[in-house]
Amino acid sequence: MDKFVIQGGKKLSGKVKVSGAKNSVLALLPATLLNSGTNVITNTPQVNDVYTMIKLLQQLGVTAEFEDHVVKLNTTGINSQFAPYEHVKKMRASVYVLGPLLSRYGYAKVSMPGGCAWGPRPINLHLEAMKKLGGEIELEEGYIIAKANKLHGAKIHFDVSSVGATGNAMMAAVLAKGTTHISNAAMEPEITQLADYLNMMGARISGIGSTVLEIEGVDELKAASIENISDRIETGTLLCAAAITKSNIELEYSSPEHIDSVVAKLSDSGIEVWESNGAIRINAANSNPQSVDVTTAVYPGFPTDMQAQWISFMSLANGTSTVTDTIYHDRFNHVPELVRLGAKIEVNNNSSIVKGVNSLRGAKVMSTDLRASACLVLAGLAAEGTTEVLRIYHLDRGYQKIEEKLRALGADIQRETTTEF
Ligand code: EPU
């Protein structure tokens, strides 16, 4: 098992390239199940969740090669519609195979994802959407058994905006007979890109980028190639790394508008962030960051996936801030770990009240999930002395070698093998 050992207090400087978006490619990869041919996805991050999804696709009969951020998927030999527990338990996004398999083959047996590190994450909206499209759904021994002769168009309204359910419903509807309307659809850039990719395969989706999607079913889709977008959450994480260490850095990033909500909050706290020549620049040197409240919301609101990193930054800001998570009410497992580093934070229902302190002190801390790990790394970069972040396998699920990017910017962060758990 690996851990990070961080000597805090180093200023960051220079430029790094942000990797491709994990959550986006986790939707693009299963979308290839809808066609027969060779698909190429470039700018794919080398992170464990992507390897897990590729293994799952291989289990379904897809031939996959992944070299140097390029994934080639040949979908001509798909011979199974079975997603076993072994794969799904590692990653909830595995449930994305349900829509494409049901739509194309009329059958899918997909393990139910279990609980997650910060509480229940149901998939009821995915299942309801499949039923609306004509799927028969049964739950048996921990598995979803989905059957249909041919899916048909339907009106689907999501009571709660869901990235995954919108993606799954879209992937099911593209091969359904007739037209599907999805309202209160997710507008996250990962979903917009999935819709674009499906259209490149020959799907007919309109309303892309809005909360109302219209999907005219087609008989078949062809293989297609796409360049994945940059990761907005890695971008936000690195911006917060610069903010918490009072540094100036530059990030090579394809779509600055995806991170507007985070940039606006950084600017409210008194830190300058701007875009020039295809890069995002942040100037936090000599800054005196002020506390700024944040409430997470669906896109284009402040992402829940940046909540933990924002709390880290706020733990050293001037004043008291309230950080509220409206998407995942229990996503605060990082707070007790930050408190071990000297932060003053109290959790009250789905909010954290963060009283800024003058300094944090290094200690051993434990990652509990992906974004929690990132927030502990940020705190370690700013803390006095040595911070050890244990259980970074969580971080490796979604950040491609973040320690190398941070070292390139001047941080003192090492990956070491440990027997500590
Ligand atoms: N929800 C339901 N029923 C459902 C589905 C969702 O009640 O059937 C609720 C959830 O409990 C939550 C809200 O809807 O309160 C939004 O969840 P959503 O379905 O949008 O989340 P997701 O698709 O499971 C994706 C990302 C998450 C990110 C969320 C929210 C991927 C692979 N995962 O999850 O990313 O937090 O959207 O933006 O795209 C991460 O990268 O660290 C991560 C957890």
pLDDT in tens, 56-111: 999 999 999 999 999 999 999 999 999 999 989 989 999 999 999 999 999 999 99
CB 237 within 8 A of CB 225: no
DSSP string, 175-239: TSBSEEEEES----HHHHHHHHHHHHTT-EEESTTSSEEEEE--S-B---EEEPPB-HHHHHHHH
Name the DSSP class of 97: G
Strands 344-348 and 351-355: antiparallel
The full length of the chain comes to: 421
Quote the pLDDT of residue 276.
85
State both tokens at 196.
Answer: 């674009």
State both tokens at 254.
Answer: 């394809």
Q: Determine phi and psi for 198, rounding to 5 degrees.
A: -60, -40
State which ligand 1 atom lies nearest to the alpha carbon of 233.
Answer: 41
3-state helix, strand, coil in the chain (%, to 5): 35, 30, 40
φ/ψ bin of 2: left (φ > 0), alpha (ψ from -120 to 50), beta (otherwise): beta
> pTM for the complete prediction?
0.97
Closest CA to 300 of 254, 260, 256: 260
Q: Per residue in 390-413, pLDDT tens?
A: 999 999 999 999 999 999 999 999
The pLDDT-based confidence of 420 (bands split at 50, 70, 90) is: confident
CB 405 within 8 A of CB 47: no
Strands 320-324 and 107-111: unpaired
The pLDDT-based confidence of 115 (bands split at 50, 70, 90) is: low
State which ligand 1 atom lies nearest to the alpha carbon of 116.
Answer: 44
Q: How far apart are CA 22 and CA 346, in angstroms?
A: 31
Q: Which amino acid is at 354?
A: V
State both tokens at 174.
Answer: 């593209």
307 Cα: distance to centroid of ligand 1 (angstroms)? 14
pLDDT over 90 (residue 23): yes
Residue of minimum CA distance from atom 26 in ligand 1? 23
Closest CA to 398 of 256, 237, 186: 237
User: For a substitution probing ligand 1, which of 327, 367, 368 has the most ligand atoms within 8 Å of its CB?
Assistant: 327
Q: Determine phi and psi for 137, rounding to 5 degrees.
A: -120, 130
Tell me which residues are annotated as active site.
116
State which ligand 1 atom lies nearest to the alpha carbon of 167.
Answer: 23
CB 68 within 8 A of CB 43: no
**CA dist list (Å): 152 to 29, 218, 256:** 24, 11, 38
Residue of minimum CA distance from atom 4 in ligand 1? 123
Q: Determine phi and psi for 278, rounding to 5 degrees.
A: 70, 15
213 Cα: distance to centroid of ligand 1 (angstroms)? 19
408 Cα: distance to centroid of ligand 1 (angstroms)? 32
Closest CA to 312 of 261, 367, 248, 231: 367
pLDDT over 90 (residue 229): yes
Residue 160 near ligand 1, beta carbon < 6 Å:
yes
Q: Which amino acid is at 236?
A: G
23 Cα: distance to centroid of ligand 1 (angstroms)? 10
φ/ψ bin of 117: left (φ > 0), alpha (ψ from -120 to 50), beta (otherwise): alpha
Residue 121 near ligand 1, beta carbon < 6 Å:
yes
pLDDT over 70 (residue 324): yes
Quote the pLDDT of residue 255.
87
**CA dist list (Å): 189 to 32, 168, 196, 233:** 19, 15, 10, 11
In sequence order, the 6+-apart residues with CB closer than 8 A to the CB of 404 are none
Residue 165 near ligand 1, beta carbon < 6 Å:
yes
